[in-house]
Structure 1
Amino acid sequence: MTRPWHLGFGLILTALAGYVDALGFIRLGGLYTSFMSGNTTQFAVALGHGDPHHALLPALLILAFLLGGICGGGLSALTPARWVTPVILGFETAVVTAAFQAATAAPDSGIASLMLALAMGAQNAVLSYVQGFRAGTTFVTGALFGLGQKLALALARRGARTAWVGDGVVWFSLLVGSVAGTVAYGKLALYALAIPAGLAGSLALLATILIARSAPPKGVVKAPAIKAVAK
């Protein structure tokens, strides 16, 4: 896959993360399926108030996200580098589809939310950095910081004038996805989960076609390292 395709996939996946997070936030009353900094804060506040009952769900969401990251990292390590994107997207599609089925079969069980957190954890292993910024992950606070830092350098004429655009587009993609998720939930309720399942599946199929049509890389290429970005 070429850089433009990686960038396009990344921005769509960032929007997808925002879409799923908006659904989770609305459904869970203030908790998240991809924003683990927020869930960690909620978990800590519940513990600080001596309320283990309300600490349970954010703790489970954090564990599900962590498990997703382990699954994504494992798949990335075991898969030939050029096939990492479609393999992890295929895994994400299966998990989000299962979440959709669980949500429609047992809306109040909470299983679907844990599956979505699992899928979002795995999604972070899909793409590596693209010229100084990273799209396709749930770590957007880092992109927002990068936007401010690069914009300051541009204004001070100590950096490229447009270096901040990439980080700005990543943040905007999350915003657009979150708005779309909110609107979709208002109109479709839990059936709104069919949209990210179909989108992830379509991206997995497209990535497979693009890679199959491209020339195989020369030599052995290692899978890209996964770098966590603080949120």
Structure 2
Amino acid sequence: MNRGWQLGTGLVLTALAGYIDALGFLRLGGLYTSFMSGNTTQFAAYAGDADPDRAFLPMLLVGSFLAGAILGSVVAILVPARWATPAVLAFETLLVLAALAIGLVHSEPGLASLALAAAMGAQNAVLAGVKGFRAGTTFVTGALFSFGQKIAEAVTRRGSPLGWLGDGVVWMSLLVGALCGALAYRALNLYALIPPALIAASLAGVTTLLVARARPAAKVSP
């Protein structure tokens, strides 16, 4: 994929992360499926309050996210580099569909959310090889700081007057995705997972076609 496709894919994935995180937050009553800093803080607060029953799920979510990140990275490492993006996207699609299937079979909301946390962990491996690229990850704190920093540089004329635009769009993508996820969950309940599964599957299919049509980079002779 060229950088334009990578940027577009990254913004869509950022919105998808916001969508799934908002859905998980509403379903779990205050926990997250992609924002692991929040879950870590929740665990510490519950543990410090001597409430082990409530501390258990936040740590399970963190563990599931970590497992997804490891497995997604393993997929990206083991397949040829040019196929890493579609392979990880396909893996993420399977995890989202697994969350839907688990949720339809089991009424306990935490079980499906563990699969969603794993999917979000895996998603961070999709564009991990693109240097200087923040979109596509499931967290935007760094992008938000960079957004403010570049606004300061623009105001003081120490940087590009529009240098803040990219990070602002990344943050806005997460915001719009989260709003859509909240509205979809209110209307569709767990079936709100169908759109993100379709989006991830579509991205996997499109990137597969793009990679298949592109010629592999020529090997340089020693």
CA shift, 1:134, in A, is: 1.1
Q: Which amino acid aligns with 1:50?
A: A
In structure 1, what is the Cα distance between the partners aligned to 2:30 and 2:100? 20
In structure 2, what is the Cα distance between the partners aligned to 1:174 and 1:129? 21
Q: Which residue matches 1:16?
A: 16
Q: Which residue matches 1:200?
A: 200
Q: Is the 8 A contact 1:13 1:135 kept in 2?
A: yes
- Specify every segment of 5 or more residues in structure 2 that has no aligned partner in the other structure, as ranges: none
Q: Which residue matches 1:223?
A: none
Q: Is the 8 A contact 1:133 1:167 kept in 2?
A: no
CA shift, 1:131, in A, is: 6.7
Q: Which residue matches 2:58?
A: 58
Are residues 119 and 8 of structure 1, via their aligned partners in 2, closer, same or farther at CA, if it must alter by over 3 Å?
A: same
Q: Which residue matches 1:225?
A: none
CA shift, 1:109, in A, is: 4.9
Q: Which residue matches 1:78?
A: 78
Normalised TM-score (structure 1): 0.92
- Sequence identity percentage: 61
Superposition misfits of 4+ residues, deviation over 3 angstroms: 128-133
CA shift, 1:112, in A, is: 0.7
CA displacement 1:180-209 (0-9 Å, x = unmatched): 001101111111011111111111001000
CA shift, 1:103, in A, is: 1.0
Q: Which amino acid aligns with 1:56?
A: F
Q: Which residue matches 1:146?
A: 146
Q: Is the 8 A contact 1:89 1:126 kept in 2?
A: yes
Is 1:180 aligned to 2:180, yes or no? yes
Is 1:169 aligned to 2:165, yes or no? no
In structure 2, what is the Cα distance between the partners aligned to 1:40 and 1:131? 28
CA displacement 1:68-108 (0-9 Å, x = unmatched): 11111111111211111000000000110011111112132
In structure 2, what is the Cα distance between the partners aligned to 1:95 and 1:64? 11
Q: Which residue matches 2:68?
A: 68
Alignment root-mean-square deviation, CA: 1.3
In structure 2, what is the Cα distance between the partners aligned to 1:200 and 1:92? 7
In structure 1, what is the Cα distance between the partners aligned to 2:42 and 2:217? 46
Are residues 132 and 150 of structure 1, via their aligned partners in 2, closer, same or farther at CA, if it must alter by over 3 Å?
A: farther
CA displacement 1:136-184 (0-9 Å, x = unmatched): 0012000000000111111111111111111111000000000000110
How many residues align? The count is 220
For the residue of structure 2 that corresponds to 1:110, the secondary structure is helix
- Specify every segment of 5 or more residues in structure 1 that has no aligned partner in the other structure, as ranges: 221-231
